[in-house]
Every structure is written in structure tokens, then in C-alpha cells.
């Protein structure tokens, strides 16, 4: 049913309820002329007269009476649906659909979700972690997180903090195999590589060389499609790895990992949060975005300062 027909039927019901087309027009925020024209168009469209009008009163014809009795339940159902939609928009409750990368991201996302659920117990998070790119529209995502900005149309991307790719090893590895002093010496060491879950190909290390971003493949002693396993292999002293600050920051601060070759560290990527335009967001989505920004924007928890990094190199 076209929207002009819906408006005309609603105008008819309101005019009968109030006993006046003029009052119905005022209630609906339109002119009396527009309301009268809408009713006339509805009668013409149906091919029957619905109202008997005089300058002082109006009454339903027999056809109008039957028509209104038939349409009233549908109008009541529509009014209820509209009211429920408006209420749910302003209610911090219900499902909250969140997507994010699987690699290393659960320990970052879970504290935000936990704090949000403690604040709003009626929220039911639906979380999907996947390193594949999500379709924001088809997956009905409320809030998403990505390493790098989303390219979906109509999506706002907000950079939260940089991703630092840090070459590091455990003190035990360095004591056993020595410290690489440059990229040439690094080639002789036991290194790890991340294997893409979909393609099976090993990804290169991203390095800064003479101020430019380059990527170089290493000959891996260990390769895996799981960032947590790669981290554990580095912590165990099996390999040197290029580990993101998302996983490495706390271990570096506690001395379990030592950053190496800092002149080649890169931070060209960033963790981004993305979402739809705020004017169309339910209140629960806006509230989650605000909390995520409060907890993650430029957070010091995961980003190592140059002073920290250089002081930690002396731990070896």
C-alpha cells in the first residue's frame, strides 16, 4: 500500500474520531485543504463515497462504515509497531551485534563488553570475531572493529589507536641464540611467520627501512594461522617474531619480551571502530560507541611509547 493511501486512511479515521476534517488536519500537522484532498483522492481511488460532508458535520456512508471497520485493526497494529520502534530506539536493551578481528582482539574487546553489560544488564551482545571482512549491511552490524578502516559505503570509521608491529624475542631466546644487530643478521635467526587462514600463504613482515615502509618475507622456522600460538612460541624462546602491540605490550612491559631493531618498527596500521550514522542509531548503539571510545581511544594500555620501548631493550 502506497504511503499516500495510508495517510488518507489515517486521516479518515481521525476525522471520524474528532468529527471534523479541520481538526483531523491539525492533529496530523497538515492543512485542512491537504486533508480534504487526501480524502477525495482516496474516494476516487476506491470508487465509492466514504463520507457525507456538510459545512458543520460529517458522517460515514454505509460503504465508509464498512471500510473503516475493516481498516481500523490494521491501523491499530501499525500504530503499535511505530510506538514500539520509537521506544526501542531510546531503550538500552536487547541485542547488540558486534564484529571484529579474531586475531588477538578478544582480550581488547571483552573488557569493553563486560563494562557495558555491567552498566546495562538488559543488553545481549552478539559477537562475531572473524579475520575475514564483514559486510556491514548484510550482517546487520551495530558496531564493528577492524585493523584498518572499513571500505563499506555509509560507514563511519573512527581510528582508536595505532597498531605497532614490533620485532621481539624472549630473554631466553636472546641468551641462547644472541641478539640480531641488523636485518642482515636477522636472516640467520629462527623466525616465525603468520599464515593467512584463507589462502594458506605466509605473510611478510612489515618494516620501516630508510623512512619507507617495505615488506619482506622471512624463512620461517615456525608458521601458524593463529596469532596466539605465534605469541606463545616467541614467549617460549623458540623464535623471534613480529608481534603486534595488541598482544605484545604487556609482555614487553613485564620483561617477558624484548623489543629488537626498533628503527624498523612500523605503526602504519590502526585499530578502527566503524558504525552507521549517529542520527539513525538506537540509543544502545550510541552508548556502546561512547564507552568504547572512552576505554580504547588513544589508550596507553596497548600503545608503547618510544621511551618505554628503548628502556625495555636494555632488559636483555
What phi and psi values does residue 97 have, to the nearest 5 degrees?
-90, 120
Q: What is the pLDDT of residue 30?
A: 79
pTM across the whole model = 0.69
CB 104 within 8 Å of CB 74: no
Q: Any residues with CB less than 8 A from the CB of 87 and at least 6 apart, and which? A: none
Q: What is the pLDDT of residue 212?
A: 92
Alpha-carbon torsion angle 236, 238, 242, 246, nearest 10: -20
d(CA 30, CA 207): 65
CB 103 within 8 Å of CB 132: no
Q: What is the pLDDT of residue 88?
A: 55
Q: What is the pLDDT of residue 304?
A: 92
What phi and psi values does residue 79 have, to the nearest 5 degrees?
-60, -40
Domains of the chain: 3-89 (1.10.10.10), 98-159+272-296 (3.40.190.10), 162-269+303-313 (3.40.190.290)
Q: What is the pLDDT of residue 152?
A: 67
In order along the chain (316 residues), what is the average pLDDT of each group of 10 residues?
66 76 78 79 77 72 77 72 58 87 89 94 90 64 84 80 95 96 94 84 92 92 93 96 94 95 93 82 90 93 90 64
Amino acid at each position: 500500500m502506497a504511503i499516500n493511501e495510508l495517510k488518507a486512511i489515517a486521516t479518515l479515521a481521525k476525522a471520524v474520531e474528532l468529527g471534523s476534517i479541520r481538526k483531523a488536519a491539525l492533529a496530523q500537522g497538515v492543512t485542512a485543504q491537504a486533508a480534504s484532498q487526501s480524502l477525495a483522492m482516496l474516494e476516487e481511488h476506491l470508487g465509492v463515497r466514504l463520507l457525507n460532508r456538510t459545512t458543520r458535520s460529517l458522517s460515514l456512508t454505509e460503504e465508509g462504515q464498512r471500510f473503516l471497520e475493516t481498516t481500523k485493526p490494521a491501523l491499530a497494529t501499525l500504530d503499535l509497531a511505530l510506538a514500539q520502534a520509537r521506544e526501542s530506539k531510546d531503550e538500552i536493551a536487547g541485542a547488540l551485534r558486534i564484529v571484529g578481528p579474531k586475531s588477538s582482539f578478544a582480550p581488547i574487546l571483552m573488557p569493553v563488553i563486560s563494562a557495558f553489560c555491567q552498566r546495562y544488564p538488559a543488553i545481549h551482545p552478539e559477537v562475531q570475531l572473524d579475520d575475514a571482512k564483514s559486510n556491514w549491511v548484510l550482517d546487520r552490524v551495530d558496531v564493528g572493529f577492524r585493523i584498518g578502516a572499513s571500505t563499506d559505503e555509509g560507514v563511519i570509521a573512527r581510528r582508536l589507536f595505532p597498531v605497532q608491529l614490533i620485532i621481539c624475542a624472549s630473554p631466553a631466546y636472546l641468551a641462547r641464540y644472541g641478539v640480531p644487530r641488523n636485518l642482515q643478521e636477522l636472516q640467520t635467526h629462527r623466525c616465525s611467520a603468520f599464515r593467512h587462514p584463507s589462502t594458506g600463504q605466509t605473510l611478510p613482515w612489515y618494516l620501516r627501512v630508510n623512512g619507507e615502509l617495505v615488506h619482506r618475507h622471512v624463512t620461517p622456522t615456525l608458521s601458524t594461522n593463529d596469532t596466539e600460538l605465534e605469541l606463545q612460541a616467541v614467549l617460549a624462546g623458540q623464535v623471534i617474531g613480529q608481534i603486534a602491540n595488541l598482544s605484545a605490550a604487556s609482555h614487553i612491559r613485564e620483561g617477558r619480551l624484548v623489543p629488537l631493531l626498533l628503527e624498523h618498527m612500523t605503526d602504519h596500521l590502526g585499530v578502527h571502530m566503524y558504525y552507521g550514522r549517529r542520527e539513525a542509531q538506537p540509543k544502545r548503539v550510541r552508548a556502546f560507541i561512547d564507552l568504547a571510545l572512552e576505554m580504547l581511544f588513544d589508550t596507553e594500555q596497548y600503545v608503547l611509547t618510544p621511551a618505554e620501548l628503548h628502556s625495555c631493550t636494555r632488559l636483555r
